[in-house]
Homo-oligomer: A and B are copies of this chain.
Amino acid sequence: MRLLFLGDVVGRSGRNVVVDQLPALRERWKLDCVVINGENAAGGFGITEAICDDLLSAGADAVTLGNHSFDQREALVFIERQTRLIRPANYPPGTPGRGATVVEARNGARVLVVNAMGRLYIDPLDDPFSAVERELAACPLGEVCDAVLIDMHAEATSEKLAMAHFVDGRATLVVGTHTHVPTADHRILPGGTAYLSDAGMCGDYDSILGMAKEEPIRRFLQKTPGARMEPANGPGALAGIAVEVCDKTGHALDVAPIRLGPHLSEARPHFWE
């Protein structure tokens, strides 16, 4: 089974590159399951229903979120009916939407997708480790589902690594999001879980995290309010991770980073090319 995850889609540049390229990639690589983080898809802040639909139509089986989940207020409403859009599982009880979903991959496999948010240097939610534990217990790999993808939306590398080792063997992939910078530490952990500290973003890399450079730089130099933050609108690049999954165990057989587009050194999954 072939699993693809793409990092935080930022603004129009990010949406365009996904919509333009994902259908062909899905075909070319015969992808069985695609998950995309969409927390910055709407102008850099949150996601709308129309944009979520675009990502799903482009080939995503599920869309994950993060600290920007509800920046667009309509997400509080449509997330209730859109079961393929999930927000961190460790939001307080009663938060609209859900923290995990099971999608059926093209090969018929059942894939549990979990979203969790770290607590270091980011809004304090409830314990992401026990939230993930709960989701795994409700739908264990190899019993109720055939693959488990965990999007660990977090700032601190320590927390992402800890999550990965915590679930090693019980998940197919733990991939970090939120920093918008792709890391180069993809590997398969001893228990069989693929890991990447951060998927990077889908968007214009001639930017500060996908946003036009001038205003964020200015805010570091001066400490006065300025212009609104706007997404950079140059051509976008795709970034994420590819996992070849064992159909029998749900563990990772092979893992490779994906980096396609301007400003990034190209990376492709040789095992699918």
Q: Interface on A for B, CB 8 Å cutoff? A: 70-71, 73, 76, 91-96, 119-121, 123-127, 129-130, 155-159, 161-163, 165-166, 179-187, 197-198, 200, 205, 208-209, 213, 216-217, 220-225, 257, 259, 263-265, 267
A contact patch SS: loop
Known: A95-B222, A123-B223, A217-B162. A197 touches B181 (CB 8 A): yes
In the bound complex, do residue B181 and residue A182 qualify as a contact, i.e. CB atoms below 8 Å apart? Answer: no
In the bound complex, do residue A166 and residue B259 qualify as a contact, i.e. CB atoms below 8 Å apart? Answer: no
Partner of A92, one of B155, B159, B197, B222: B222
In the bound complex, do residue B187 and residue A184 qualify as a contact, i.e. CB atoms below 8 Å apart? Answer: no
Residues of B near A120 (CB, < 8 A) are: 121, 124
CB-CB nearest 3 A-B residue pairs: A121-B121, A184-B184, A119-B124
CA distance A267 to B267 in the complex (A): 12
Residues of B near A92 (CB, < 8 A) are: 127, 130, 221-223
In the bound complex, do residue A183 and residue B183 qualify as a contact, i.e. CB atoms below 8 Å apart? Answer: yes
Residues of B near A213 (CB, < 8 A) are: 162, 165
Known: A184-B200, A217-B166. A208 touches B156 (CB 8 A): no
CA distance A157 to B161 in the complex (A): 17
In the bound complex, do residue A121 and residue B155 qualify as a contact, i.e. CB atoms below 8 Å apart? Answer: yes
Residues of B near A124 (CB, < 8 A) are: 119-120, 124
CA distance A180 to B58 in the complex (A): 35
Known: A157-B181, A200-B184. A208 touches B126 (CB 8 A): no
In the bound complex, do residue B73 and residue A209 qualify as a contact, i.e. CB atoms below 8 Å apart? Answer: no
Q: Whose C-beta in chain B lies nearest to the C-beta of A188?
A: B263
Residues of B near A76 (CB, < 8 A) are: 224-225
